[in-house]
A and B are shown apart, each in its own frame.
Chain A
Amino acid sequence: MHLILFIVFAGLCLAGALNLLLQKHPINSALSLVVVMTSLAVLYLLLGAEFLAAAQIIVYAGAIMVLFTFVIMLLNAGREERTLGSKAAVALGFPAVAAILAVIATVILKAQDLGSVSLSDGITSTEELSRVLFHELLLPFEVTSVLILIAILGAVSLARKGHGDQEAGK
């Protein structure tokens, strides 16, 4: 059962990721990414990270990606233009990525004591999570809230039309 779920959702995940790369239209890419994220949520669930799975859906799929689609729609960004790309990117990038993947894969496969996972083992309850988050890691948590606040302000000021010279008067 676990195996099936893993294969299905890992497959969806990879397919989504590949689709993200292959699609020419950003909105398709965005939807592929939503698929990736949703499948990841399932995988999280399989790994016993319930809360994260929900958060993954709510935050990533439900907020961040909506923002992306929203922007794509707002800008009505069409198909990718064919521009003279930098050849270096491809010439240098692909071997490099392949090398990275190879190295990481080697390391992972060579690793000795990695455990395994099965359904319904070690589910992390939300309570446990929140206990750590709000006790040990309260300060970082609060700091992230500041970060978010700053991001909001930054986004507002950036996206405001005319960079404030029209509104500055009022």
Chain B
Amino acid sequence: MTIWWFVLWSILKVLVVTVVLLTAVAYTVLLERKVVGRIQNRWGPSRVGPFGLLQPLVDGAKLFLKEDIVPTSVYKPLYLLAPVLALGCALISIAVVPFGNPEVAPQGFRIFQISDVNIGLLVVLGITSIGVYGIALAGWSSNNKYSLMGSLRSSAQLISYELALGLSLVGVVMLAGSLNLRVIVESQAAHGLLSWNIFGGFQFVAFFIYLMAAYAETNRAPFDLPEAESELTAGYHTEYSSMKFATFFMAEYANMITVSCVATLMFFGGWTSPLGNLIGPFQNQIINAILPIFWFVLKVFFFLFLYIWVRGTLPRFRYDQLMNFGWRYLLPLAILNIVGTSLWLALKQ
């Protein structure tokens, strides 16, 4: 009955990952508040716990305990479904992400990856693309013009940037010859920093495109038009409050984390060490298992920091600029990148 063991293991992994992820989300919020605070020359949350480290907990408690308001004129089923959908999609996509060295697999079960799927990358993309429903439905079911406007913007933005996003990854896929995230990472393992796709694979253009598109996909600054508070109050989640609002909030940060993970995996060699084989495998299996996770978390952290940094410094785009940028620059550039990469590959052979 290996299959039941498989299920059991999977459930365990899912639980662990979910808990870790949600915690990470909470602390990313804290990180953001801190970093942005420093950027704006203030302290950020610092009162609750040492360095304000307990702030996320209290925030959570506050949101959780707040009165659950459902406005009268909303379309209730969807109004309730929307945040669930948003968070669900955000969480699911982490399932195919390998956090650490997959070779650490007692009894044949990989512990650092929930599911090793052949088409892992496509799964991530697919789930991300489903994620748009959360926002779209939230906006629409709220029966509020700001919300609707926000969700319309969001839908259009997501559809537009998804293309650039997908195409920017094609180059990497071609280099690796697989859609399996594990294989992609392993293809960058050989010489550390030098064999990362962004450097060794000459995918810096793709990386740039990916980064832009990813920011847009996650509705983050400078592409946070769907929730531009100065225009649309709070965009699609104007009518949401308390825990439902928190759910959206979490979904956004979970998405950020997913996107950062993917960036890491695709361009920065995933769990592999930037030093490559310079630091050979240690004798200690534990260290061998933990070190890749360290590298991975470090890289993801870097991307999250980048997110916050960008948010803290760059102004918001205008909507037509956003569309123009996506269709007129990113998309052709992504296609050019594919052409270039394939030419390079063809010449290399």
Contact B140 A73 (CB under 8 A): yes
Interface bin, chain A: 20 to 34
Pick from B155-163, B243-251, B311-319 the stretch touching chain A: B155-163
Q: Report B-chain residues with C-beta under 8 Å of the C-beta of A31.
A: 78, 133, 137
Say if the beta carbon of A61 comes within 8 Å of chain B.
yes
Q: Report A-chain residues with C-beta under 8 Å of the C-beta of B118.
A: 50, 123, 125-126
Say if the beta carbon of A13 comes within 8 Å of chain B.
no
Contact B133 A51 (CB under 8 A): no
Contact A51 B119 (CB under 8 A): yes
Q: Report B-chain residues with C-beta under 8 Å of the C-beta of A40.
A: none
**With A and B bound together, what is the CA distance between A51 and B126 in angstroms?**
11
Contact A57 B130 (CB under 8 A): yes
**With A and B bound together, what is the CA distance between A50 and B144 in angstroms?**
40
Contact A62 B129 (CB under 8 A): yes
Digit string of A120-138 for contact with B (CB within 8 Å is 1, else 0)?
Answer: 0001011100000000000
CB < 8 Å: which of B78, B129, B148, B159 contacts A61? Answer: B129
- Given A1-B3, A66-B155, A34–B162 Cβ distance below 8 Å? no
Say if the beta carbon of B179 comes within 8 Å of chain A.
yes
Known: A54-B122, A73-B152, A127-B177. 18 other contacts (CB 8 A): A27-B140, A28-B77, A31-B133, A50-B119, A58-B126, A61-B129, A61-B130, A62-B125, A62-B128, A66-B129, A69-B133, A70-B159, A73-B136, A74-B152, A123-B118, A126-B118, A126-B119, A126-B179
Q: Report B-chain residues with C-beta under 8 Å of the C-beta of A123.
A: 118
Contact A62 B123 (CB under 8 A): no
Contact A63 B159 (CB under 8 A): yes
Q: Report B-chain residues with C-beta under 8 Å of the C-beta of A55.
A: 122
Contact B136 A62 (CB under 8 A): no
19 A–B contact pairs at CB < 8 A? Answer: A27-B78, A28-B78, A34-B133, A38-B130, A54-B119, A54-B123, A54-B126, A58-B125, A58-B126, A58-B129, A61-B129, A62-B125, A66-B129, A69-B155, A70-B136, A70-B155, A73-B152, A126-B118, A126-B179
* Minimum-distance CB pairs A-B, first 4: A62-B129, A54-B122, A57-B126, A70-B155
Q: Give the one of A55, A66, A125 with max B CB within 10 A.
A: A66
Q: Report B-chain residues with C-beta under 8 Å of the C-beta of A61.
A: 126, 129-130
Digit string of B3-22 for contact with A (CB within 8 Å is 1, else 0)?
Answer: 10000000000000000000
Say if the beta carbon of B139 comes within 8 Å of chain A.
yes
Contact A69 B129 (CB under 8 A): no
Residue of A nearest to B131 (CB): A62
Residue of B nearest to A54 (CB): B122
Q: Report A-chain residues with C-beta under 8 Å of the C-beta of B179.
A: 126
Contact B159 A66 (CB under 8 A): yes
Q: Report B-chain residues with C-beta under 8 Å of the C-beta of A143.
A: none
Q: Report A-chain residues with C-beta under 8 Å of the C-beta of B125.
A: 54, 58, 62
A: residues with CB less than 8 A from B are 1, 27-28, 31, 34, 38, 41, 50-51, 53-55, 57-58, 61-63, 66-67, 69-70, 72-74, 76, 123, 125-127
**With A and B bound together, what is the CA distance between A123 and B140 in angstroms?**
40
Q: Report A-chain residues with C-beta under 8 Å of the C-beta of B133.
A: 31, 34, 66, 69
Digit string of B149-172 for contact with A (CB within 8 Å is 1, else 0)?
Answer: 001100110110010001000000
Chain B: minimal CB distance from A18 (Å): 17
Say if the beta carbon of B216 comes within 8 Å of chain A.
no
Q: Report A-chain residues with C-beta under 8 Å of the C-beta of B77.
A: 28
Contact B162 A63 (CB under 8 A): yes
Contact B122 A51 (CB under 8 A): yes
Say if the beta carbon of B132 comes within 8 Å of chain A.
yes
**With A and B bound together, what is the CA distance between A51 and B178 in angstroms?**
12
Contact A69 B122 (CB under 8 A): no
- Given A57-B129, A73-B155, A66–B136 Cβ distance below 8 Å? yes
CB < 8 Å: which of A34, A62, A74 contacts B126? Answer: A62
**With A and B bound together, what is the CA distance between A55 and B152 in angstroms?**
24
**With A and B bound together, what is the CA distance between A66 and B122 in angstroms?**
18
Chain B: minimal CB distance from A5 (Å): 12
